Every structure is written in C-alpha cells, then in structure tokens.
A and B are shown apart, each in its own frame.
Chain A
Amino acid sequence: MAEELKDVVLEYVKNEYLEEDDDEEIGYDTPLISGGIVDSFSMVSLKVFLEKKCNIEIPNAKATPEAFDTVNKIVELAKEIGGE
C-alpha cells in the first residue's frame, strides 16, 4: 500500500510541478522544496492532493516544508496521520 502511495505521489509531483521541457529526474528522495522544485506557495496543492487521496486531514502545523520535502517524507506523514 505504501509502495503504491509513493508511486502515486511521485506521479502527481511530476505532473503538477514539472514543465514539459523539464529534464529533471525526480525520485522518492529528491528534495522537492529545498531543491526548488516546489515552492512553499504551490506546496498547498500537494497537501490538498494528499488529503483527498488518503482521506485524511493534515493539520497546518504538520504541513511544513520539511515534512513535504521528499516523496518518502510525504508518505511517512500520510501514514502517521492516517494511523497506518
């Protein structure tokens, strides 16, 4: 389940944040926010996507740039809140 969620989140990040002519390779541990791929303003889309996908509500205090910096960290956060 966690493997599938990782792939779903990775796919979402690529579609949502990469331009068509971007040749950037993104992996599960690629720094998204500290790496400048996702800025803190457009990070909100990712939070909303995760909430809908996992049927959870992420408190604003936990939706930090650090918690959302990689696909692996995002999935960890979702598991923590979803109670898996």
Chain B
Amino acid sequence: MAYSTKAQEFYTAELSSTREAGLYKDERFIHSAQGADIEVEFPEGAAVQQVINLCANNYLGLSSHPDVIKAAHEGLEARGYGMSSVRFICGTQDIHRELEQKLTAFLGTEDTILFPSCMDANAGVFEALLGEEDVIIADRLVHASIVDGIRLCKAQQDSFKHSDMTHLEQKLELHQDKRFRMITTDGVFSMDGDLAKLDEIVALAERYDALVMVDDSHATGFIGKRGKGVHEHCGVLGKIDVITTTLGKALGGASGGCVSGRKEIVEMCRQRARPYLFSNAMPPVIVAAANAVLDLISRTTERRDKLEWNATYWRRGLTELGFDLKAGESPIVPVMLYNAKLAQEMARDLYQEGIYVVGFFFPVVPKGQARIRTQLSAAHEKEHLDRGLAAFEKVGKKHGVLGLGKKEIIEKFGK
C-alpha cells in the first residue's frame, strides 16, 4: 500500500494538535440557496436551523437573485454546460469576449482577460509580467493568493508595513536599481476591511516609476459612487496598471476572476499566464449570468447604495454596544477578540442565537488577532441587522467583552 502507517500517524498527530490548539475549522452544511436568511445543519447531523448570514461575500445580494438565475438558465440553453477546453484552443465563446468587454468598461481599463478565479488571476499575473531583474513590493496584509502568486514569480520580493506610505516610499527608493518595480496591494483588505490609499500609492508610483497592481475582489461592484472599486473611490480611475478581481463575491458569487488593465499587460497574460493557458475555460452558464450582473450594476447603483447604508448602520450599532472594531468604510466589519478560542466560542453562541458568523484565527489572520469578521449584504433588511445586533449584545455580555479595548481583552482572555 502506498499510504504508509508512518504518514497516516503523522497527519493524525498534526490534526490532533490543530484541534487542541483550538485552530480546527469545521464546515457547516447549508440546505438552502445563499442569501440573508439561510438554513444550516451544524454540527453534522443536527436539525436544520434558519439563521441570518453575516459572513458571506454576497455584498450586492446577487448570489441567488432571480434575474441572475434566469440569465444562467438562458446561458445553459443557448451555450451549453461546459467548454471542455482551455480558452486558446476551443474554449472561447462570444459571451466570454462580451464579458471581458463589459468588465473593461465597468472598471475603466483598456482590456480584460478572464480566469477561472481571482486566485488563478493572482497566481498567473506576476509570473507573466515580471522576471529576475524586477521587484514586487507588496503591502504586508495582501491576500494569500497574491503571496502565492509572488512566490511563483522570479522577481525579487519586498514588502511594506500595512498601508504605510512612508515605508513604501523607502522601499521604492531602495529598489531604483531594478528594471521594473511593481507595487501590489489589496483594494479592500479582506480581514481588516480597510481601504488601500490608492491615490497616495499612484502618486508614489508616478514619482518613483513603478507599476501598480490592485486586487479589488472585496470592492468591485460596490466601493466608489458607481461601485467600480477603490480606484474610483480614491479618484484614480484609469491610473491602475493591473486590477485583479473576482466574480465570486459581489458579482454573482459563483466563480471566475479576471486581470484588467493596460492593453499590453492583459495581452501578455493572454500569451503567458499559466492558469489561463492550462486551466479550463469558465463555464457558459456562469459567463451568461455574469454578463447579466454587469448589466444590472451598470444600470443602477441601488444595491451598492443600500449596502453602504447597511454597513454604516451595522458599524454604528456594534460601536454603540461597546465592541472593539477595526476602523473602516467597507461592508467588512471585524469584531476584534484577539483570542482564537474566544472567537470560536462567541461564534458558536451567536449561531445558537440565530446568527451565522465564523471565528477567524491563525493562520487566516496573524496570531493574536482573532476576530469575528462580519460582512454586510444588500440582501440584509433593517430587521436582519437589528436581530443581529441584539444577538451580539447578548453574546457580548455573556462573554464580558463589551466596553473592553484590545489591551483589556488580551489581559482577560490571553492572545
């Protein structure tokens, strides 16, 4: 047998120590479509319970929208189930091109190329564009997929303290001897919910001759007055060289991602990016639905406006209750608890109160920075939020965290 006792014992021990450290992640089983209200079986075998979902990336509430589902059905009928091909062989339909053009128009760039996911876009983009003579200077809190993509590339790596423009400037000065410098950042940081200072980053890039790459996955569709993203919010539309983003969050929530930006850069990805060259084309059903989503959000800002209201209301409510929140303007609102076990226990108690959230801890966030990351959706009505706040108040009181800051929480519960 290939699977030896030694290997099995090793992995069993690793998994046990993960459980003992309170770092084990359990799945929960959802018996409904994604939405503000969902039906959940947790733990496995338990009775299904209706709960309010406060941890989806379903920012615009489009994951189960009837218009999106209708467009998906029509796409299935018109263009079939799967392409059974990578894009460049026989995997490109007219609707793929249409979606790339719609994304280009929406994001305000010169061209766009689809990938099976933004994870794939980030895995492929750096290697396609940069080599040993270049340097990538990344914000220290960039998404894991960017870290992985940078590691796949032969360019030198460096990093700057999170959102610290002084430190970034020092790094840009340090690397003036390189051929190309690429600054890379999330647009909205997925764990903290804060926005990158893209206006300052672009100014530094212009001064020190650097490319700018932004992963706007937690922004596309709803940040900025028209929902175009953090670049719109910061007044630098048209000035970002490379944007990667996902169709798996606000833009329908199914699957898919893209690289969008300068014409030549997108063309290089089309010729060289490995996930594009070697992975199956996006299925027609998802492309058709995504086209409908782009039409919808280009036509009206109603959904992103409602999301903005929800996020403001929620953040104010939690602050007034006395929770320690990360400051920010996005619909990602982290409730800081610092201790992994505390975060998990509170998440379990909130579930008992009908609120579905998950505790986040190492390695998803740095050690000692555990939290419950709440996320708002345009699908949430005020009643959802009021019930959520009531539950948070009850559970917060039970665990004695209300009114405590970082230092007090750590003193009380440990890191």
> Which A residues contact B (CB, under 8 angstroms)?
17, 19, 36, 39, 41-42, 44-45, 48
Question: Which residues of the partner chain B approach A48 to less than 8 Å between Cβ atoms?
Answer: 156, 158
**How many Å lie between the Cα of A48 and that of B366 in the bound state?**
23
Q: Which residues of B contact A39 (CB under 8 A)?
A: 140, 366
**Is there contact, CB below 8 Å, between B161 and A44?**
no
Contact yes or no, B159 A42, CB < 8 A: yes
A36 touches B158 (CB 8 A): no
How many residues in B have their beta carbons less than 8 Å from beta carbons of A?
13
**Closest A residue to B164 using CB positions:** A19
Q: What sequence of 0s and 1s flags, for each residue 279-309 of chain B, a beta carbon within 8 Å of any chain A beta carbon?
A: 0000000000000000000000000000000
Nearest residue, chain B, Cβ from A18: B161
Residue of B with least CB distance to A45:
B158
B147 at the interface (CB under 8 A from A): yes
Task: Chain A residues near B159: list those with CB within 8 A.
Answer: 41-42, 44-45
- CA of A48 to CA of B177 in the docked complex: distance in angstroms? 14
Q: How far is the CA of A44 from the CA of B171 in the complex (A)?
A: 13
A-B CB contact pairs (8 Å), 13 listed: A17-B161, A19-B161, A36-B366, A36-B368, A39-B366, A41-B140, A41-B147, A41-B150, A41-B157, A42-B140, A44-B156, A44-B159, A45-B158
Residue of B nearest to A36 (CB): B367
Chain A proximity of B190: nearest CB distance (Å): 15
Q: In the complex, which residues 119-164 of chain B have their Cβ closer than 8 Å to any Cβ of chain A?
A: 138, 140, 147, 150, 156-159, 161
Measured between alpha carbons, how far is A42 from B136 in the docked complex, in Å?
A: 12
Which residues does B use to contact A, with CB under 8 Å? 138, 140, 147, 150, 156-159, 161, 362, 366-368
Bound-state CA distance A36–B159 (Å) is 16
Least distance between B412 CB and chain A CB atoms (Å): 18
Contacts of B138 in A (CB 8 A): 41
Complex Cα spacing A19 to B163, Å: 11
Task: Establish whether residues B158 and A44, one from each chain, have CB atoms under 8 Å apart when the complex forms.
Answer: yes
Q: Contacts of A17 on B, CB cut-off 8 Å?
A: 161
Residues of A within 8 Å of B147, CB to CB, are 41
Q: Which residues of B contact A45 (CB under 8 A)?
A: 158-159
CB distance from A73 to the nearest CB of B (A): 20
Q: Chain B residues with Cβ under 8 A from A36's Cβ? A: 362, 366-368
CA distance A6 to B158 in the complex (A): 22
Query: Chain B CB within 10 Å — which of A36, A41, A44 has the most?
Result: A41
Query: What residue of chain A has the Cβ atom nearest to residue B369's Cβ?
Result: A36
Say how far A18's CB is from chain B's closest CB, in angstroms. 9
Across the interface, which residues of A come within 8 angstroms of B366, CB to CB?
36, 39
Report chain A residues within 8 Å CB of B161: 17, 19
Taken together as a complex, chains A and B put the C-alpha atoms of A17 and B147 apart, in Å, by 18
- Chain B residues with Cβ below 8 Å from A41 are 138, 140, 147, 150, 157, 159
Q: Given A36-B367, A41-B140, A45-B158, list of 5 further CB < 8 A pairs? A: A17-B161, A41-B150, A44-B156, A44-B158, A45-B159
Instruction: Report Cα–Cα, A44/B366, bound state, in Å.
Output: 18
Instruction: Give B407's nearest chain A residue, CB to CB.
Output: A23
Q: Are B368 and A44 in contact (CB under 8 A)?
A: no
CA distance A41 to B157 in the complex (A): 9
CB distance from A62 to the nearest CB of B (A): 17
B83 → A minimal CB distance (Å): 35
Q: Are A44 and B367 in contact, CB atoms less than 8 angstroms apart?
A: no
Interface centre among B150, B159, B367 (most CB of A within 10 A): B159
Q: Pick the 6 closest A-B CB pairs, nearest first.
A: A36-B367, A42-B159, A44-B157, A41-B147, A45-B158, A42-B140
Q: Which residues of A contact B368 (CB under 8 A)?
A: 36
Q: Which residue of chain A is the closest to B167 with respect to CB atoms?
A: A16
Min distance, Cβ A47 to any Cβ of chain B, angstroms? 10
> What is the chain A residue whose CB lies nearest that of B148?
A41
A42 CA to B157 CA, complexed, in Å: 8
**Complex Cα gap A36–B361 (Å):** 13
- Chain A residues with Cβ under 8 A from B150's Cβ? 41
